[in-house]
Amino acid sequence: MAREGLKYAVPMAAVAVLSAVLGYHALVWTAALFAGAFAIFFRLPAAPATAGNGAILSPAGGFVIEVVREEEPVFFKTPAQRISIFMSPLDVHVNTAPLTGSVRYAEYRPGAFWRADRPEARLQNERMSVGFETETGVKCLATQVAGWLARRIVCDVRVGDTVRRGRRYGMIEFGSRLDLHVPEHARVTVKPGLHVRAARTVLAEVRP
């Protein structure tokens, strides 16, 4: 379980145990149900997939809702491809590095809390953007976007840190949305409607 989930799951588990001792059987099941739900919500992603050097792994679990080409003005500063992933409360909330390299850019922006699947959420909601770059110059920009339910973005890295593909770099509590910009010339391997897994699904491939 991700460490952020302990503050939710442990008290519920304690309530379940105490209720069992005191004989409040109905409360035992209710508290145990909540503890189990939090354990599921904050579960860790599977081990990173074995993929080629040019593979960009999904940094989030959820459904792909959009794949578009657009200008990316803050990190790439050129046209790029954006893959948007909607993370429901049932998906893994931990976010993982899409590639192995260094953190070259990080910016937090406060904002609103629209539903994450609404078009305005991408630019108006609270968000945290992290730019990654490999030793060979391949870039990715991952933007965690808060939603109406998920109002806590966690980012564990800062500019200058090194990351490994498929390893945790942050999370969004209770799901929401993550936008990943990849190079314009990358071959995107997913399309809208596909369910992807954090650290497991290859979203795009770039020739080394």
Task: Report the half-sphere exposure of 192 (CA within 13 A, side-chain side).
Answer: 7
Q: What is the DSSP letter of 177?
A: E
Sequence-ordered list of residues with C-beta below 8 angstroms from that of 161, at least 6 positions apart, any chain: 102, 103
31-71 residue pLDDT tens: 666 666 666 666 666 667 677 889 999 999 999 999 999 99
202-205 sheet: strands from edge to edge: 55-57, 202-205, 187-188
Cβ-based neighbour number of residue 62 at 10 Å: 25
Q: What is the DSSP letter of 174?
A: T
| Per-residue confidence band for 204, with pLDDT thresholds at 50, 70 and 90 | very high
Q: Are strands 139-145 and 176-183 parallel, antiparallel or unpaired?
A: antiparallel
* 27, two tokens: 């409360």
Which residues are known to be catalytic? 176
User: What pLDDT shows up at residue 115?
Assistant: 74
| Per-residue confidence band for 127, with pLDDT thresholds at 50, 70 and 90 | very high
Q: How far apart are the C-alpha atoms of 107 and 128, rounded to whole Å?
A: 6
What is 55-205's CATH topology?
Glucose Permease (Domain IIA) (2.70.70)
What's the whole-model pTM score?
0.82
Sequence-ordered list of residues with C-beta below 8 angstroms from that of 5, at least 6 positions apart, any chain: 38, 39, 41, 42
Evaluate if residue 149 carries a pLDDT over 70.
Answer: no
| Per-residue confidence band for 145, with pLDDT thresholds at 50, 70 and 90 | very high
Task: Report the half-sphere exposure of 4 (CA within 13 A, side-chain side).
Answer: 21
Q: What is the 3-state secondary structure (H, E, C) of 133-151?
A: ECCCCCEEEEEEECCCCCC
Q: Are strands 55-57 and 195-196 parallel, antiparallel or unpaired?
A: unpaired
User: What pLDDT shows up at residue 50?
Assistant: 72
Residue pointed to by tokens 């579960």 = 43
Is the Cβ–Cβ distance between 177 and 193 less than 8 Å? no
Query: What does the domain layout of the chain look like in residue ranges?
Result: 3-41, 55-205
* 127, two tokens: 């968000």
